[in-house]
Amino acid sequence: MEIPELVETLDREGRLLAAAAEEADTDAKVATCPGWQVRDLVRHTGMVHRWATSFVAEGHASYHPDGGLPDLDGDELLSWFREGHRRLVDTLAGATPDVQCWSFLPAPSPLAFWARRQAHETTVHRVDAESALGPQRSAVAAQFAVDGIDELLRGFHGRTRSKVRTQEPRVLRVRATDVPDTVWTLRLSQEPPVCEREERGTADCELTGPVDELYLSLWNRLPFPGLTGDASTAEVWREKSGITWS
């Protein structure tokens, strides 16, 4: 996806997140993140937005820590979130394409990385915020969901730090039923996963369904929409694929 599309998505998703959080109230429990209330979700996402903004706006060439979580709640917290989200959107929209700064996943440029990462970060957490209101949620666009699965399988879990490993080799396939020719083959072993964007060989387990449901289930926000084969292979993903803040 192009940078302007990603920034537009980030803009929309952040506004939806804030609206859902306001409607639910910051005391509400976040169904998709056990143990969290809406205030925890808003504090976390707002902190990440400010952290991401700092790299692009200030040109940090190496990792630097986040600014911590604010001691805010209620309307003050939501105002703080909206302010930081707006600054992130404006910073990404106004940055020059060749801006140089630190990033941590493969991308055509640092700007492309941060636009993509923050669009997906905010979308997943928007779904979290909406879960505090009930099972209904706003849709995730199909091509954006495809991009997000790519980022998760080939980006995050293409790194040496991925914990998705098995003692014996296994193959997990992910197939979107609503986007033609959209298949990922994930090869699991004692080494980091290897992901191919194609159907190759046989799979021990196959996950199927609409691509937006696959996207959210791979981020452990929904049950797998469809599963055939060895369910224990899918459980490896459930148990070991979580991306945590550190």
Residue 148 has a pLDDT of 98
Residue 246 has a pLDDT of 64
Query: Does the pLDDT value for residue 207 go beyond 70?
Result: yes
* Averaged pLDDT for residues 82-104: 98
The strand pair at 170-176 and 205-209 is best described as parallel
CB 224 within 8 A of CB 210: no
Confidence of residue 185 (pLDDT cuts 50, 70, 90): very high
Query: How far is the C-alpha of 118 from the C-alpha of 5, rounded, in Å?
Result: 12
Query: How far is the C-alpha of 195 from the C-alpha of 86, rounded, in Å?
Result: 35
Q: In the chain, pLDDT over 70 holds for what percent of residues?
A: 100
In the sheet that holds 194-196, the strands lie side by side as: 194-196, 183-188, 170-176, 205-209, 226-229
| Three-class secondary structure of residue 26 per DSSP | coil
* Averaged pLDDT for residues 55-84: 97
What is the gyration radius of the CA atoms in the chain, in angstroms? 18
The residues of the chain that CATH labels 3.30.1050.10 are 145-240
* Averaged pLDDT for residues 113-135: 98
Confidence of residue 203 (pLDDT cuts 50, 70, 90): very high
Q: Which residues of 161-200 are buried (b: 16+ CB within 10 A; e: fewer)?
A: ebebebeeebbbbbbbeebeebbbbbbbeeebbebbeeee
The residues of the chain that CATH labels 1.20.120.450 are 3-131
Query: Does the pLDDT value for residue 243 go beyond 70?
Result: yes
Confidence of residue 200 (pLDDT cuts 50, 70, 90): confident
* Averaged pLDDT for residues 172-190: 97
DSSP string over 155-175: IGGGSTT-----SS-EEEEEE
Residue 245 has a pLDDT of 81
Q: In the chain, pLDDT over 90 holds for what percent of residues?
A: 98
CATH of domain 3-131: 1.20.120.450
CATH of domain 145-240: 3.30.1050.10
What is the CA 2 to chain-centroid distance, rounded? 17
CB 36 within 8 A of CB 16: no
Mean pLDDT, all residues of the chain: 97
* Averaged pLDDT for residues 185-193: 97
Bridge partners (DSSP) of residue 91 are none
User: Measuring CA to CA, which residue among 213, 207, 201 is closest to residue 235?
Assistant: 207
Residue 122 has a pLDDT of 98
Query: Does the pLDDT value for residue 53 go beyond 80?
Result: yes
